[in-house]
Structure 1
Amino acid sequence: MRVILQRVQRASVEVEKEIVGKIQHGILALVGFEPEDTIEDFEWISKKIIQLRIFNDHNHVMNLDIQQVIGDILVVSQFTLHAAVKKGNRPSYIKASKPDIATEQYQTFLSVLEKNFKPVQRGIFGADMKVELLNDGPVTIFIDSKNKE
């Protein structure tokens, strides 16, 4: 599982000219799945999202997590996080889960995240989404459950 986390002042996702998810201060999480991802991957990533200290304290040092700043999370599925670009100029998405598997993975991940946090805002899996955000910092972090660095 791969995730791009962006600390945001605000973020929203629109489908067919309708806002389907919206947050103010918090984290926009773009998530991509591969067939080998398991519940352990979802739990590890969920814990990272909730516990990463990427918000500023009163000294302007990134020392606080999403819970401490009473922030929100917006989760958007994005299979392109598994793009392979080594060969040629057209990205290959062969490593990404197929839609039927990824749909289930997305729902399971959301359940795990909400079990440990609170209800999150979300995009619509497989929809043509328009994501708007105001990155705060900017702070953008890449996490890969298969490469825990």
Structure 2
Amino acid sequence: MRALIQRVVSADASYVNGEVISSIGKGLCVLVGISKDDTRKDIEYIVRKILSLRVFEDGEPGGKNFNKSVKDRRLEILCLSQITLYHALKGNKLDFHHAMAPAESKAFYQEFLQEMRSQYDPDLVKEGAFGEHLVIGIKNDGPVTVMLESPKSASDREEQTVPDVDG
């Protein structure tokens, strides 16, 4: 499972005709890709990481950057399914044989949203329309963009040591 996360000032998802489906203020816009091999463990890992990812400032005068999570700050999240995160190129053509099949993927994505809402305030978790052609408006904050991928095996799911960027 992959998640491309952008810290945003605001984001929205609309149908091509301009009808707005969802919109958020300050928070995270999360593009979610689902592979054919993903399991419940991948959902749990990705949701935990999204909610814990420290990409926000303290909010205090002189506070540290990259010190608070979306959950710490009680900000909004806009989740959007994104099959192209699991593409392969065949020449110049996109191939999606690594992605989960649409019917199975829709149920899996709904399970992901349910887990996100059960781990966070459900009113702060918004979504687009699965499988639809959408227009996404993103006002990136920073810009800050992070790519997450769930580990391929249970032993890989252990936390990795990351150097402290604040020094």
| Short-chain TM bin | over 0.9
Aligned to 2:121: 118
Q: Is 1:84–2:88 an aligned residue pair?
A: yes
Match status 1:10 vs 2:10: yes
- Alignment match, 2:105: 102
Instruction: Please say if 1:61 is aligned against 2:65.
Output: yes
Backbone CA RMSD of aligned residues:
1.4
Q: How much has 1:93 moved relative to structure 2? A: 1.0
Q: 2:75 aligns with which of 71, 75, 79?
A: 71
Q: Report the 3-state secondary structure (helix = DSSP H, G, I; strand = E; otherwise coil) of the residue aligned with 1:62.
A: coil
Partner of 1:144: 149
- Tell me the equivalent position of 1:30: 31
The 2-side partners of 1:83 and 1:69 are apart by 33
Query: Percentage identity across aligned positions?
Result: 35
State the 4+ residue runs in structure 1 displaced beyond 2 angstroms. 146-149
Range that drifts further, 88-97 or 121-130: 88-97
State the Cα deviation string for residues 8-43 of structure 1 (Å, max 9, x = none): 000000014211111000000000111211111001
Question: Cα offset for 1:60?
Answer: 4.2
Structure 2 residues without counterparts, runs of 5 or longer: 161-167
> Which has the higher relative contact order, 1 or 2, with Cα contacts under 8 A spaced 6 or more apart?
1
Aligned length: 148
Query: How far apart in 2 are the matches of 1:134 and 1:121?
Result: 16
**Aligned position for 1:132:** 137
The structure whose Rg is larger is: 2
Q: Hey, which of these two has a bigger chunk of helix by percent?
A: 2
Counterpart of 1:48 in structure 2 is: 49
SS at match of 1:137: strand
User: What SS class does the counterpart of residue 67 from structure 2 fall into?
Assistant: strand
Aligned AA (1:121): K
Q: Please report the TM-score for the alignment, with normalisation by the length of structure 2.
A: 0.84
